[in-house]
């Protein structure tokens, strides 16, 4: 593995770890506000990002490269609304997708097909996560400021949490 690919993979460890802590902060915000469904969604999302991080750490070690466990950024913990929470979620996922695409590009430049192959799992994962984030934000845009709409949104998001939990157990 080239030094530049090694650095990019370590950067990605940091991005996934930051995402995990960010979603934990978002879960806690939602929990505090009484949006229990949204809280469970982000608690689960936080766990998933931790798994994404660990998968990278294990891969870098398997390839006998050097893992650097990073210092993390302070997550944003205050949000004005559910809309802002989910806008932030989508932005975070778009950012991660851009970084993954950059790694893929560099793998091709350096003809590192092994890392390229490994990263395909992340490409698929990002497609799914961005789609979920976009769908949920679209629903919130339709709901607007309607409080009963928010209540129903919070209730319905439980279905996604349950479906994701089932998928993770398979």
16 binds ligand FEO (CB under 6 A): yes
| Residue environment code for 76-93, b if the CB has 16+ CB neighbours within 10 A, otherwise e | eeebeebbebbbbbbebb
Q: Measure the CA–CA gap between 36 and 27, rounded to whole angstroms.
A: 9
Interface pick for ligand FEO out of 40, 93, 106, 112 (rule CB under 6 A):
93
Q: Report the residue number, 106 or 129, with the smaller CB distance to ligand FEO.
A: 129
Q: Which of these, 130, 136, 128, 129, lies nearest to 159 by C-alpha position?
A: 136
Closest CB to ligand FEO belongs to which residue?
A: 52
Dihedral class, residue 40 (left if φ above 0, else alpha if ψ from -120 to 50, else beta)? alpha
Total of residues contacting ligand FEO (CB under 6 A): 7
Q: Measure the CA–CA gap between 109 and 4, rounded to whole angstroms.
A: 11
CB of 131 vs ligand FEO, minimal distance in Å: 12
CB-CB contact of 6 with 60 (8 Å): yes
CB-CB contact of 2 with 56 (8 Å): no
The first and second tokens of residue 95, run together, are 């950012």
24 binds ligand FEO (CB under 6 A): no
129 binds ligand FEO (CB under 6 A): yes
Interface pick for ligand FEO out of 30, 56, 96, 103 (rule CB under 6 A):
96
Q: Report the residue number, 16 or 112, with the smaller CB distance to ligand FEO.
A: 16
22 binds ligand FEO (CB under 6 A): no
19 binds ligand FEO (CB under 6 A): yes
* Residues binding ligand FEO (CB under 6 A): 16, 19, 49, 52, 93, 96, 129
């Amino acid at each position: 593995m080239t030094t530049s690919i090694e650095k990019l993979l370590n950067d990605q460890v940091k991005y996934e770890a930051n995402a995990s802590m960010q979603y934990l902060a978002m879960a806690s915000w939602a929990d505090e506000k009484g949006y229990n469904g949204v809280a469970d969604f982000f608690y689960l999302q936080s766990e998933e990002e931790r798994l994404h991080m660990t998968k990278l750490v294990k891969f870098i070690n398997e390839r006998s490269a050097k893992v650097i466990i990073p210092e993390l950024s302070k997550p944003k913990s205050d949000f004005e609304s559910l809309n802002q929470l989910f806008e932030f979620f989508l932005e975070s996922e778009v950012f991660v997708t851009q970084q993954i695409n950059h790694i893929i590009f560099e793998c091709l430049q350096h003809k590192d097909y092994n890392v390229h192959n490994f990263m395909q799992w992340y490409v698929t994962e990002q497609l799914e996560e961005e789609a979920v984030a976009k769908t949920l934000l679209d629903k919130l845009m339709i709901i607007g400021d309607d409080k009963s709409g928010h209540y129903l949104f919070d209730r319905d998001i439980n279905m996604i949490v349950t479906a994701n939990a089932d998928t993770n157990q398979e």
